[in-house]
Homo-oligomer: A and B are copies of this chain.
Amino acid sequence: MRERVFIAVIGGARCSSQVCRLAEEVGAELAKRGAVLVCGGLGGVMEAACRGAKKMGGTTVGILPGGDGKAANPYVDIPIVTRLGYARNALVVQSAQAVIAVDGSYGTLSEIAFALQYGIPVVGLDTWSVAINGQSDQSIFAVGSPQEAVERAMAAAMARQEEEV
């Protein structure tokens, strides 16, 4: 029953029209491929990605930081009410098999860090890059388009599922 792939889309709660467009396309591409979109449930990149997914008939999950389910953006099908503040960022990435970061705030950076810590693949579109002690860390897979982001994330999620079998 549950062969569906869950992919998290992370990014800031506000976005420029250009970033919003990227996020919306990411959501649409995920829905076209049958993936469930997991996100933080709020505005900006999260809302744009959910809107894209719903346009293509996809399913969207929003893991909210606060205590009010109605704070979810209108394109969230399944709002999860955590009251955990930003600690909920851990739940967003843990509940996915791969993560797509689009642009992003410090919250996005914490989600990238959590994903890398748990070994969940991260694909990045115009997002954070990090270096430790001056040495660049290449774990965030940089891509150039929403299509490429989704293809990469889906492939990484599948590879991970097979590994586990």
A interface residues with partner B (beta carbon < 8 Å): 1-2, 6, 36, 54, 59, 61, 63, 67, 69-70, 72, 74-91, 94-95, 103-107, 109-110, 112-114, 116-118, 126-134, 164
Contact = CB atoms under 8 A, between A and B. Distances in A.
Contacts of A67: 85, 94, 118
B133 A127 contact: yes
Total identical chains:
4
Contacts of A87: 83-84, 87-88, 90-91
B79 A2 contact: yes
B85 A90 contact: yes
27 contacts: A1-B77, A2-B74, A2-B77, A6-B69, A61-B78, A61-B80, A69-B95, A79-B95, A81-B94, A83-B84, A83-B87, A83-B90, A84-B84, A86-B90, A86-B118, A103-B133, A104-B132, A105-B117, A106-B114, A109-B109, A109-B130, A110-B114, A112-B113, A127-B132, A129-B130, A129-B131, A129-B132
